[in-house]
Structure 1
Amino acid sequence: MKNRIFYIVLLLFLGLAAHTNAQADKWTGTWRMEYKPWPGRPPLIIELQVGLPGQQTLYPALLKLDYGNTFHGVYELLLATKSITQLGIGRFKYPVSETPFRLGPWMLYLNGTFNYGKPANGAAYMQLSRMWIKDFGLFMKGLDEDDEIYTSTKVTLRGLLYQDSIRLKKINAQPWTGPHTNRIIHPEEDSVYFGIYDKVITADSVVQLSIKDDDQLDKDTVTLVHNGRVLLHRMEMNDQTREQRIHLDTGMNILTFFADNYGGLPPNTGNMRITTEGKTHVFDFAHRANWYATYLVAQFYRKPTAPTAAIKALPPPTTTRKNESLTSFTVRQADIILELWDAQQEDGDSISLRLNNNWIATGLPVKKAVQQIKISLQPGENTLLFMADNLGSIPPNTAALRIRFGTQAKTLELKTDFQRNNLVKIVYEPPAQP
């Protein structure tokens, strides 16, 4: 009986530890503040709910503005990692609902970055640092439209968005999930533009990058982040093209191109071009859809390389290795996303993945940067097999795995070697036909 109780307590502890680890990201959760510029009136409540990141760098989020009975607005937006303490704020805020009037272009003022802070004794907070917009003809637009009874409310909202301090306090660590969470970070699934360009698939391990200001020279500066690593920091652009080669990670590469300022002649007009497989892809702040954006996101998916001779020489897992089952669960959608990364020390680990009877990746290096693989399930039971190609410099072969399906996700730890594979069973139950 004592042993049974011990194991129950141990399982509960391990489950709690796994849950805590899954929620360890400091940005995910709900952040809130009360804005009260006028005495005797109810406060305007600002709430920002941040979801789990895609590629550990792009965060879907939901912004809510509630001002008593006079205004209610809900907006979807994208946040992007600029540094360990900064999240860039996407230009476009999709209005899920607004009543009794629309804020329209005023939401452009909510730009720049959220800067993370945590006092020694207190809750974490995000402080807004704006990039100033001037001479854009937005400040007074719409103030006297609709009905004059809303003028006071509009003045309050405009002041908040345009110039007043915004400091959000973290109130919980529960990641936001919603019906549109996935579409924000996966633009191929929807037509709403949150600043992410369509994915480019390439076999090149190295691509050519060039950055230039094609407009008037006015001290525009830019920052470039590749899968969480800063490649360029506050680089001032001029009429000389800056060029360099970028080594792509296997799998998904997120290149986030930040405008650090709007220069002397707003907006920032930086132009980034990336050439791969003989084709040049352009990402331009001067495009009308990107005017006064904080950042643009380029996606380059590098296809895994073919199996090497060393991998082919490994003994078949079905004859010499034991398949160790990690979990089994049921999903309602056929397309799911695998995210793999090294949560410990990057030590040269390489793995291969098999879905049912088909190898979907071989010789895949396990890196600190998250790599995404999208797979399609067949109805019924599906088997995912993870096989070590090597043991790295620190045995065993280890990797963190997150499986995304719809608005949910499961995080697992992979441990494989030449004696054991890891096995995950996923049962796909298609929705019932009406």
Structure 2
Amino acid sequence: MIKNIFLFICSLLFHSLQLLAQTDPFSGTWQMVYSPDAIMPGIKFQLQIGPSQQNILYPAHIFISCDSFFAEYDLLLAKKNIREVGISKNKFPRVQRPFGLKDRTLFLTGSFDLSKDLKGAPVLNFLRIHSKQKDIIATTEVNSDSAKLVAKLKHFLGDEDISLKKISSIPWHSENSDDILEPALSPTYFGLKDTVYLPTRDGVVNFSGIKKRKNDRVSVTLNGIVIFDKIDIEKKTQQSDILLRPGVNILTFFADNFGNDLPNSSRLNLEFGNKKFALDFANRKDSAAIFIAVKLICDPDKSKDRYFAEYPQSGPESLLKKDEKLVGGIKSVKQQLTLAIWDEVIDDGDTVSIKINNEWLIKGCPVKKTPKFITVTLQPGPNTITFLADNLGSIPPNTSVLEIIDGKRRKSYEMESNPGEKNLIKIFYDSGTPIK
């Protein structure tokens, strides 16, 4: 009896997965074998796509094998329209042997386009967007035979036509696939920002950051609906009112090309009541990315629980010295806060120093991908965090993320600075009156 019940549940689960796959043409397993000649082994390329989140974001997995080389990468896909999904800039390596591909962040820059072959079978064609990417090379020294293999992989990933046929409609799932859709849990940054809680459902979006004669084109979707479609924002000022639906909304900002001066450097500005933020392809971690996505929720009460109130700057405190830049300001009802500092992109030797109210918290601290936590005690009233870059590391400028945490609330700042520059964060500690 128990065995029959178990078999029934397995059968029901299997048919449920098949039904889900039938309603989503992207989910499933896609494959091709690249064999340019009969002498060298072919390259097997397999793309597994999981079930979507709101029919927009897809966790995905890549297998690449050729001769002795075998690799697996996690990535994120973002739906642009009914035919096309953008590919995340970063591909996180789960397995690479006997060597790795050093510039794995930039191979497969572009999107997959869904169509059918002459027999009517579904295919995914890779639409490449060329960028100023570095050569795809091995992470370790290789022998002469492996060098030929690296060159073959480089040619395939960087130049060859890639067309994948669907071999299974069952959505991909693994113990790590759900983490790809959660920025706080994902093993690397896949282009999905932390969820933003907003005070109102109605907002305004517009663009900035475009240089003349750059010819950048961008698209924007909200919950899968196109707001802007392949627009050249240099030619016309673009602005639109948007209205969020109740619950979770997904807004995605796409780079349609890299213009004349690679890569795309467009910036999408969003304003909801007193909440302002931006999605910016000029930021280092999103440079040469195809998309930036963010989940938006209108829940004023929840926003108070998760985020600090803003501390507006006015009067004498807003007067800055020549080498100072005000990054932002918050209000706190707790005297003790935690600062977390890390680099979301790469460990490149950056070091920083931090003061609070002219007293040193740390000096010459290396910025790693693993966060370093520092406890700070505020004085009543205004406080100033001073963030200084000690060097430029191996990849200028000095970049890091500084996050302020009080146990429930959090606020993060992306720092890009050069030696001699001071980034300031103002914190007003209200020791008696709760923040409203």
Measured against the shorter chain, the TM-score band is: 0.5 to 0.7
- Is residue 86 of structure 1 aligned with residue 101 of structure 2? no
Output the CA distance in 1 between the equivalents of 2:87 and 2:14.
Answer: 32
Give the CA deviation at 1:273: 1.3
Give the match's secondary structure for 2:154: helix
Residue matched to 2:434: none
Output the CA distance in 1 between the equivalents of 2:18 and 2:194.
Answer: 33
- Residues 13-66 of structure 1, C-alpha deviations (whole Å, 9 max, x = no match): 998875543222111110000011232222110001100001210000000001
Give the CA deviation at 1:288: 1.0
The answer as to whether partners of 1:212 and 1:240 remain within 8 angstroms in 2 is no
Q: How many equivalent residue pairs?
A: 294
Give the match's secondary structure for 1:219: coil
Give the CA deviation at 1:107: 4.7
- Is residue 213 of structure 1 aligned with residue 239 of structure 2? no
Output the CA distance in 2 between the equivalents of 1:49 and 1:265.
Answer: 33
The answer as to whether partners of 1:212 and 1:239 remain within 8 angstroms in 2 is no
TM-score (norm 1): 0.63
Residue matched to 2:41: 42
> Which of 162, 179, 190 is 1:183 aligned to?
179
Give the CA deviation at 1:150: 1.3
The answer as to whether partners of 2:100 and 2:140 remain within 8 angstroms in 1 is no
Output the CA distance in 2 between the equivalents of 1:190 and 1:89.
Answer: 16
- Residues 223-268 of structure 1, C-alpha deviations (whole Å, 9 max, x = no match): 1111111110011022865222111111111111110000000000
Residue matched to 1:166: 162
Residue matched to 1:56: 55
> Which of 250, 271, 282 is 1:286 aligned to?
282
Output the CA distance in 2 between the equivalents of 1:219 and 1:171.
Answer: 39
- Is residue 68 of structure 1 aligned with residue 67 of structure 2? yes
The answer as to whether partners of 1:118 and 1:124 remain within 8 angstroms in 2 is yes
AA partner of residue 151 (structure 1): A
Q: Sequence identity, in percent?
A: 29
> Which of 144, 147, 151 is 1:151 aligned to?
147
Structure 1: gaps (5+ residues): 1-10, 306-434
Q: 1:60 to 1:245 in 2, by over 3 A?
A: same
Give the match's secondary structure for 1:234: strand
> Which of 94, 97, 106 is 1:96 aligned to?
94
Output the CA distance in 2 between the equivalents of 1:117 and 1:240.
Answer: 33
Give the CA deviation at 1:292: 1.0
Output the CA distance in 2 between the equivalents of 1:106 and 1:77.
Answer: 11
Output the CA distance in 2 between the equivalents of 1:157 and 1:141.
Answer: 9
TM-score (norm 2): 0.63
The answer as to whether partners of 1:114 and 1:126 remain within 8 angstroms in 2 is yes
Give the CA deviation at 1:12: 12
AA partner of residue 102 (structure 1): G
Q: 1:40 to 1:33 in 2, by over 3 A?
A: same
Residue matched to 2:219: 223
AA partner of residue 295 (structure 1): F
> Which of 85, 102, 105 is 2:103 aligned to?
105
The answer as to whether partners of 1:143 and 1:154 remain within 8 angstroms in 2 is no
Residue matched to 1:126: 124
- Is residue 250 of structure 1 aligned with residue 246 of structure 2? yes
Give the CA deviation at 1:139: 2.6
Output the CA distance in 1 between the equivalents of 2:161 and 2:42.
Answer: 14
Give the match's secondary structure for 1:83: coil
The answer as to whether partners of 2:59 and 2:180 remain within 8 angstroms in 1 is yes
The answer as to whether partners of 2:223 and 2:249 remain within 8 angstroms in 1 is yes
Range with bigger deviation, 13-22 or 277-286: 13-22
Q: 1:31 to 1:198 in 2, by over 3 A?
A: same
Give the CA deviation at 1:81: 0.4
Output the CA distance in 2 between the equivalents of 1:262 and 1:120.
Answer: 32
Give the match's secondary structure for 1:273: strand
The answer as to whether partners of 1:91 and 1:294 remain within 8 angstroms in 2 is yes
Output the CA distance in 2 between the equivalents of 1:170 and 1:196.
Answer: 27
Output the CA distance in 2 between the equivalents of 1:248 and 1:19.
Answer: 30
Structure 2: gaps (5+ residues): 1-8, 302-436
Give the CA deviation at 1:190: 3.6
Output the CA distance in 1 between the equivalents of 2:100 and 2:278.
Answer: 33
- Residues 262-304 of structure 1, C-alpha deviations (whole Å, 9 max, x = no match): 0000000010111123121121101111111111102211239
The answer as to whether partners of 1:77 and 1:90 remain within 8 angstroms in 2 is yes
Q: 1:191 to 1:100 in 2, by over 3 A?
A: closer
Q: 1:139 to 1:18 in 2, by over 3 A?
A: closer
Residue matched to 1:199: 195
Output the CA distance in 1 between the equivalents of 2:31 and 2:235.
Answer: 43
Output the CA distance in 1 between the equivalents of 2:98 and 2:240.
Answer: 50
The answer as to whether partners of 1:58 and 1:78 remain within 8 angstroms in 2 is yes
AA partner of residue 185 (structure 1): L
AA partner of residue 65 (structure 2): D
Give the match's secondary structure for 2:148: helix
Output the CA distance in 2 between the equivalents of 1:99 and 1:159.
Answer: 19
- Residues 327-356 of structure 1, C-alpha deviations (whole Å, 9 max, x = no match): xxxxxxxxxxxxxxxxxxxxxxxxxxxxxx
Residue matched to 1:22: 20
Output the CA distance in 1 between the equivalents of 2:239 and 2:222.
Answer: 15
AA partner of residue 272 (structure 1): L
Output the CA distance in 2 between the equivalents of 1:280 and 1:228.
Answer: 22
Give the match's secondary structure for 1:265: coil
AA partner of residue 152 (structure 1): K
AA partner of residue 253 (structure 1): N
Give the match's secondary structure for 1:175: coil
Output the CA distance in 2 between the equivalents of 1:214 and 1:122.
Answer: 42
Output the CA distance in 2 between the equivalents of 1:107 and 1:151.
Answer: 20
